[in-house]
Structures are given as structure tokens and as C-alpha cells.
Chain A
Amino acid sequence: MTRICFRYLALALVRWSGVLISLVLLVEFSFCVVGGSNRHVWGFDVYQSIPLELSVQPISWWELIAERSGATLLALAIAYGGALLFGYAWGILAGRFRRFRAASIFSLPFSLFSCVPGFWFVVLVAIHSYVVWKRPGFANELVVESGPNLLAWWNAAVVALPAMAVATAWQLRSVAGAIENEASRPFVKGLYLTGYSEDAIFYNNILQRALPGIVSLLDRTLPLVLGSFIFLEWAFHYDGVGSLLVESVRLGFYPGIVVSGMWMATLATAVTMGRQVVAKLLQPVQ
């Protein structure tokens, strides 16, 4: 177990380092080679104090990252957690009722919602707040000065919902697809002919055999959710890591770009590593 963990940790570190180098090169290429900026990534003057545009109060790096990470992690818990919950629960259910095209039916509302531009959805929520609730609608306009911060959950939920819809649609179809692949093998017909019940065949055979494949889908939607957060947070004026990336790009603030990009990459790396360890442990011993 320890060897497996160390092996995947080393692999994760190599990939993480590759992403860091690629990100730095991307910033340099985009801003300096293509954009014509005189400020290079290796220039000392680039690493100055945090611009005031990025925070309401004078703030240290650690405080900025902690504040933004907290906000994004809350939204991520809702979006990614929801995608996994809906995706796996209803994906397996869709696999069970594959004869009735349950996967298409269950994923239809999420797929339709995915066609709605996420940034437009959050702007609609803000407009609704202004017009119907007569309250400021964007995330940074109302600050709860005292009492339980229900508004923080609401703001996180608004940002998470469009990302969750896209991720859930994909996750649901992928889980159902993996189960259907397994269900189309010849042994299933054999079990039917032998006289096993539908439930027994599905839960005791198909699902168990499909488990490694399903587990391998655990981390696939995370980059999609994180990528969606970039424009969703910015559209809703939600102070998270995604909006930090956009604001840093607009300001040409390289440290902000690298920090926010690597924050996302670190999270994806950690989850991927976890998935690989779990998948390895679930693999049947040869």
C-alpha cells in the first residue's frame, strides 16, 4: 500500500512540475512573445505587493490565498460533490434501467441546462435579486456583518450550479456507459439463460465487474468544474480562485496567474492521485 502511494506520489510530483513549467512558459509566451509586454516572468519587479484591485483591504499573500481558496472550495464542494452524487447514483440507476434509455432521460435536464451559458445564468440570478428581491445581486455587493453567513452558501451555490450541471451530465452518461459496456458482454446472456434474476445479475456481476472502470471516472470532471469556475466566479463577482486568475490576467499580474493556475493543478493532481491509488487497490489481484 505504501509503495503504491509513493509511486503515485512521485508520478504526481513529476506531472505537477511539468504543469508548473508549462504554465510559466505559457505566461511568458502569451504576455511577452505574443502580447509584446516588457515585463518578463523572471523579472524581479513583477513580484511586487498584491494590487489593491485584488482585495478590499491591504492583505498578505497568505490571507489572499486563504480567502479565495475558502470561497472556491465551498463552491467546489457543492459542484463536484453534487456531480459525483448525482452522477454515480443516477448513473448506476440508469445502467440498471438501460433498456428504457434511462441514461438519456436522467441526463436530459442536466444536458439541457448545460446548453445555457453559465455566465448568463449567474447574471440572471443577479437580475432576479435586483428586480424581485430588491437587493443587490452579485456576490461581492452584500457583506454579512453579523450573524450566520447564509449568503455565502447562496453565492457558492449559484456559482456551483452551472458547473455541476455540465459535470453531472457527463458523469451520469459516462457511468451509465461503463455499466452498459460491461452489460453487453457475452457472460450476461449466459447468466440470463441460467436463470439468474435481473437484480442479481446487475448488482452481483455487472456492477462489480464495472467498478474499476467506474472508479476511474472519479476525477474526470474536476478540471471541467474548475475551468467553469474561472468565468462563473468572474461573472458573479465571486471572490474565488477562478476570478483571481481572470483579474490577474487583466492586470498582467503574473504571480496571481501562476498561483491560481497551480492551485487548480494541485487540486486536480491530488484528486487524480487519490483516484489512482483507489483504482489500484480495487484492481483484482492477477
Chain B
Amino acid sequence: MLWLRALFFASPLAMVLGAVWLFDRVTELQLSDDSEALIYAIEEPIGYLNPLVPQTGITREVTDLLFEPLLVRDDDLNLRPNLIDSWTSRTLITIRCASEEAAGEAESKLRSGEYLDEDMVVLDVTREENVLMIVLDGFDSTLETRLVGNFDPENLGDYRLIRLKVTNSVRNSLEAFLSASVEKSQIAMLEYEDDRTANMFVRGDIDLFLRELNLYYESNASLDPRIEEVGEISHTSYREMLMTLRSDVNWHDGTRFTVDDLIFSYNELTRPNSPFGFAGSFWFVEELKKVDPYRLRIACGDTPATMMESWEKLPVIPKHLMSGGIENADWIEFFRKPIGNGPYRIERRRRDGGIELAANEMYFRGPPLQSEVIYRQIGSLESVLLALRADRIDAIVPDMRFTDWSERNPGVMRELRCLPRYQHFVAWNLDRPPLDQRGVRIAMAQAVDLDVVRRDTATGFQTPTTSLFFPGMPYVGDPMQLPTHDPRSADRDLEESGFAMDETKGVRVSEDGVPLKFTLTINEESEEHLRMAEALTEQWASIGVTVVVEPMSWSRILTEKLVTRDFDAVMLEWEIPFERDRLATWHSTSIGAGGGNFCGLRNQVVDETLEQLRYEEDLDAVKVLTGRLNGGIGGLQPCFFVCDSGRVLSLRRDGIEVVRPVKNGEPVVQPIGVGKAGLQNVRPWWVRKRIVQPSEENSPPDQP
């Protein structure tokens, strides 16, 4: 029993020995050696890597490394091919001649160039009986008019075009009509544009025919028929684009990127109930047709000059992984570790919320020289400093403490400012008093000293808003002139708008005694918007305007405020796009469900400018239009523009350089910078400079 007692009393010592052993082992623990990887210290965990939704910050940066866009901007911000290798646009004109002989004569004159203007380039001419089909290069909307105008009138057939449009299956209903029709002999030619539209070229007395046609379709009202007598036309035209994709692009799992992926992505993102909002950008597309795995034919109902900007925006996702009736949960899981086609692929998600990326060896531009990139979440400034001292960190998303430390210890880090591509503004509801009055809106802008509101933070900087368009774009004309800080003018404008200051209460009241007051809705998850709202409220209070700040979740703002336009003012933020087409944001037809004109701006000059901007091809004319739009919005003040903001990164000084691989050539080395098109263009080419040890500096170079 003595030994049992001794064991019992000595048992706590086992715990002491265990503790000593643990201490010993922990002392020997080493950090993993990631010396070759480019290590990024991040503040927050990386979320879902979904290119289909707007993203910001590090999650956006990683998503851009994983997914390649269809088109890119070069250093002059011009659109350049990327996954789309080339594109051509064609206008197909079908001309109905008076007779076969007339068609033959017209064909020979076409081939000799007699009917052609200088800018017309004929790609192909075919003749079938009395019908000529001519393919011209380009989308010029005047092409068919000019070409037909160049024809000898006697060669052209004298037809009248009757266009029939129904909801669907026009062929079935029309053939049923024709089988029983008495007047069908009037129809010289019949052409089906698509499943809903039929073009009938008729000759002679067409009144009876039209009557018969109308009677028939009135009894088929469910088809919602529309019969239009277009006029004396002997031609139809059809525009299409032929897009060729690169044939050397692979998804990260080795599957080839083809037209099927593009068509799948397009269909998913533009279908009627799609939550992603791309449908409005592709109104001009009538049909997509696969020609072969790398060529796509796009039938265009309209030919805006901004077509390629729409394709630039479209993200592509792999059809072989995402099609086939997958569930929502599968989509979510996919975007946790997506398969993309960009320069980097996901190696694994880290337990600390970071991510490890590896260079994509199959990348079509050549794999990045930096083979590994690690995004790590580091919990404290102390760990960051330790890692900096040991050269285990190359880039940092800074917080205030780190920024303070780097100010106290200059020379260690270098600040990199990305482009200010996020715009923060207060959207007014122009259908609600008192903000329906321009004078009030101008006064609200004049009352605020934005230098006081704007503030640089550890992770971002803020600059004055100067334009609606992406900074540095070649098509941008005059900048946006916004009201300057002028409290006296603000007072005067409010007085003129009927809001006098009640000195006893210190608030503005209307002639009816109603105080000037409105509610400002903000996103409760945005600390910066909360701060801005408080600063603005304070300044507006100084001119007697009472503002009630209403924080709300983003989903509620979307559903309860923006969609229904049930708000006075709401503070929003958007990413400034590359595109110049802003019809969806400012045109009067975009007010209401599905539209982006939350403010409810209705202005004829703005509407006309937006419509012209869509179609204008001449760069100088575009500059004038963009300048006019900037001026119009700046003058009308449908929004109060607070600032533009951009990200700030902290890089280890002389730690990173930019090395772009060149096929069959020497890589091009550049100093670190952002470039006109933004960080996403240079980020894949960041390479960690190897820290050279003193002994290596003195040792002779390796002999080949």
C-alpha cells in the first residue's frame, strides 16, 4: 500500500514533467519556411471569390488573379483583346431586285465597285435568282441606305414590306394563314427574321391582303400580333459580329476554354430572372450561335459603339463545372475554391482565413515568375513587425496601428496608392420635396466643406470627385464642375427656394412653416459612410437643415429603398466603370423597376447626350459628349458627390518588382507601380525580389 500512496502523492509531478516536456517541444517549434513565396498580410478573411458580383479589397484582388477577362485595357486605357482574340463586324444586306437580269446586272456593278462608296468594303456577294446577298465590313448604320441608294432604281424591285410580329412561332401561324389565304398571291417574297418576326414583300394591291391578314390575326389575339406596313423597301439588313476566341486558354483543371463557356456564362448572367443585372448591358444581342469551338456569331439587333465595353464586363465561368442543374449550395461551394483561367490558381484555403495561390503553368501569356503567393491573416502588429524583420512579409494591408508605426519608422515600407475608382455620393430622390428643387440641391452641395469630410484612412485615400468616368480615359472631355463650398450662396439659394431661417429655432422652414428636413439612409455595415453621414449632417445643420441618419442593412436598402424609390436621400458607393455608356444610370427611361436611375432624373439634354454617347464613334465627338454629360450632372446635382476613394497598400521597400513574361524573349522588368488601368493589370506580375545575403554578393556567379 505504501507504493500506492507514493504513486498517488507523486502523480502531480507527472503533470509538472509533462509541462516541462511541452515547453521544451514548443521552444523547438519553427515557423514554416515560405521564403520563396510572396507573402501578403491581410486584415480580414478572404470571402467568396465570385467574379459575378461586385467586390472590393483583397477578395477582389484575388478574384482578378483567378479569372481572366474577355478584354483588357492597355496602358493607354484602350480596349485590347484578351480571351477574345479578335472580332469583326459585318452587315448583311439582302436586296430584292426587279428581276433575275436586274440582279445579275447589279451584281456585276457591285463587283466592279460602281455601287460602292469609298468606305464600303465588300466581303462577299452572292446571288440567288433575283435576290442579292451582300456582306459588308462594319456596322455603320448608314451602310444599307447608302448602298441601296447607289443602285439603279430600275434594278430594284418595287415591293412593299409588311412586317408581322407575334409572341412566338410566327412560322406556324403564318403558314396556317397562307394555306387558307385568298390574297396570298400578292406576296412576292417571304422571309423569317426569327421565331417572332416575318417580313413579307408584297406587290400590287395590298389592301385586300392586309385586311385578310388583320382578320386572321385578330382571331388569334393570344399571339399579340403586330402588323406593320414598313413602306416601299426592297431590302433587309442583318448585322452580326464574328468573335474569335484564343485557342490556347485552359481552365485550371486543364479543360480548354471554348465558346461553350462564353455562351453558358452569357445565358446565365442575362436570363430574365438572373440576379446579376447584366441583361441590360446586352440589349443589342439578338442571338448567339456557335460556329466552332473558338468562333461565335452574334446577331445584333442594334449596333452601339459601346458594344465591346459590354463584353468587357462579362465574366466567364466554366460550363463543364457549373451547368447541369446544380443547386445554390454548389454555386456557393464553387466560389469558395473556384476553378478559373487566370494567371494564378488556388492551392488551398488557409485555416487563418487566408489563401495560397500557385502560378498557373498553363497560362496563355506564360506563367508568372512568382510561383507562390500566400495571403495570411496576421492577428497583431507585433506579429507583422516580427515577420517584417525576418523578411517573411512583402505586402501588408495596413491598419491604423501599422500606419502609425511606419510613420515613426520611415524607410522600411513604401505606400502604394491604387487608382481612386470608387465613388461615394448621396443620391437625392428628385420626386420628393424639397429635394425636387434644384436650388435646394445646389445649396446642400454649397453648404459642405468636403475638405473636412474627406479623410485618408490606413487602408484607403479619398480625393475630390472630378468626373463620372474612369480617371484617365481617353474619351473624357471636360471634367465635372461641382458646386464649391459657399455657405452664403447656400443661404441665398435656400431663401430663393422658399426656405427661410427661423432664428429662434435655428432651422429652415418653408412658407407653410414646415421645417426643411429629410432622412439620409446609409449602409450600417460601412463605418466610412457612417462617419461621412455624421460629418455631412453637422455641416447641413449649420445652415438650418435637419437630417435624420437612418442606418440600414444593404439588403434592406436594395429592396425597401432603391427598388421602390421610397427614400429621401441614400448614401451609395459604386465602382467607376471603364465604359462610357451611362444610359442605365441617368436616362429617364431607366427610372422604375429594373432601372438604375434611382434619383429619378428626367432631363432632355441629358437623355439626348446619353443616347448619342451610345452610338458616337468619333473620339472627339465622344469627348464633347462626355464633357456635356459631366456638365449636365454637375449642374443638375441629382447626386451630391462626396469623394472618390482608392485602396492603399504597404509594400516592403525594394521588396517587389514587376516582371512581365514575354514568349520567346527576355522578361521585361519594371519598377513597382499601379498603371493607368489599375492594379489588376500589374498585380499578376509582381515578383518578390530575392534578399541577397552578403556572402552571395561576393561569391562568383555560377558558370553555365
Interface residues of A (CB under 8 A from B): 52, 56-58, 82, 85-86, 89-90, 92-93, 130, 133-138, 140-145, 150-151, 153-154, 157, 203, 237
Question: Which of A86, A141, A145 meets B379, CB within 8 Å?
Answer: A141
Residues of the B chain whose Cβ atoms lie less than 8 Å from the Cβ of A135? 29, 31, 386
0/1 per residue, B23-66, Cβ < 8 Å to A? 10111010110000000000011010000000000000000000
Residues from 10 to 30 in B contacting A, C-beta threshold 8 Å: 11-12, 15, 19, 22-23, 25-27, 29
Chain B residues at the A interface, C-beta cutoff of 8 Å: 5, 8-9, 11-12, 15, 19, 22-23, 25-27, 29, 31-32, 44-45, 47, 350-353, 377-380, 382-383, 386, 390
Q: Which residues of A contact B352 (CB under 8 A)?
A: 56, 143
Q: Report the minimal beta-carbon distance from B201 to chain A, rounded to whole angstroms.
A: 62
Q: Is the CB of B22 within 8 A of A145?
A: no
A154 to B438, CA, bound (A): 66
User: Across the interface, do A143 and B9 meet the contact criterion of CB distance under 8 Å?
Assistant: no
> In the bound complex, how far is the Cα of B12 from the Cα of A90, in angstroms?
8
Whole-angstrom CA separation of A134 from B387 in the bound complex: 9
Whether B390 lies near A157 (C-beta < 8 A) is no
Contact (Cβ within 8 A) B8 A153: no
Q: Separation in Å of the B203 CB from the closest CB of chain A?
A: 69
- B29 contacts which of A89, A90, A130, A150 (Cβ < 8 Å)? A150
Choice from A86, A133, A136, A145 contacting B382 with Cβ under 8 Å: A136
Check B9 against A89 for contact (C-beta < 8 Å).
yes
The 21 sampled A-B contact pairs (Cβ below 8 Å) are A56-B45, A56-B353, A89-B12, A90-B9, A92-B9, A130-B386, A134-B390, A135-B31, A136-B378, A137-B382, A138-B380, A138-B383, A141-B378, A141-B379, A145-B32, A145-B350, A150-B25, A153-B22, A154-B26, A203-B5, A237-B379
Distance, CA A86 to CA B16, complexed state (A):
10
Distance of A130 Cα from B382 Cα, bound (Å): 8
Instruction: Check if A136 sits within 8 Å of B29, measured CB to CB.
Output: no
**Interfacial chain A residues near B383, Cβ < 8 Å:** 136, 138, 141
Given contacts A52-B44, A136-B383, 13 further A-B contacts (CB under 8 A): A56-B352, A85-B12, A85-B15, A90-B9, A92-B9, A134-B390, A136-B379, A136-B386, A143-B350, A143-B351, A145-B350, A151-B29, A154-B22
| Chain A residues within an 8 Å CB radius of B45 | 56-57
The answer for the CA separation of A153 and B29 in the assembled complex, in Å, is 13
A85-B15, A89-B11 known; A56+B380 contact, CB < 8 A? no
Chain B residues, Cβ within 8 Å of A137? 382
One of A56, A86, A130 near B377 (C-beta < 8 A): A56
Chain A, Cβ-Cβ closest to B46: A57
- With CB as the reference atom, state the residue of chain B lying closest to A148: B25
The reply to whether B380 and A136 form a contact with Cβ atoms under 8 Å apart is: yes
Q: Are B22 and A157 in contact (CB under 8 A)?
A: yes
Q: How far is the CB of A278 from chain B (nearest CB, A)?
A: 18
B350 pairs with A85, CB closer than 8 A: no
Chain A nearest CB: distance from B54 CB in Å? Answer: 18
Bound complex: CA of A82 vs CA of B390, how far in Å? Answer: 38
Closest residue on chain A to residue B382 by CB atoms: A130
B32 — which chain A residues lie within 8 A by C-beta? 145
CB distance from A279 to the nearest CB of B (A): 21
| Alpha-carbon gap, A136 to B379, bound state (A) | 9
Asked if residues B12 and A86 are in contact (CB atoms below 8 Å), the reply is yes
Residues in chain A near residue B5, CB distance under 8 A: 203
Q: How far is the CA of A52 from the CA of B5 in the complex (A)?
A: 52
Complex CA gap A133/B27 in Å reads 7
Rounded to whole angstroms, the CA-CA distance of A176 and B379 in the bound complex is 45
Contact among B9, B26, B47 for A150, CB-based, below 8 A: B26
Closest CB of chain A to B47's CB: distance in Å? Answer: 8
* 8 A-B pairs with the lowest CB-CB distances in the bound complex, closest first: A136-B383, A56-B353, A141-B379, A143-B352, A86-B12, A154-B26, A143-B351, A141-B383
Q: Give A140 to B378 CA distance when docked, in angstroms.
A: 9
Question: How many angstroms from the CA of A90 to the CA of B45 in the assembled complex?
Answer: 48
Chain B residues within 8 Å of A85, by CB = 11-12, 15
Residues of B within 8 A of A153 (CB): 22
Q: Chain B's nearest CB lies how many Å from the CB of A129?
A: 9
Distance A130 CA – B353 CA, assembled complex (angstroms): 22
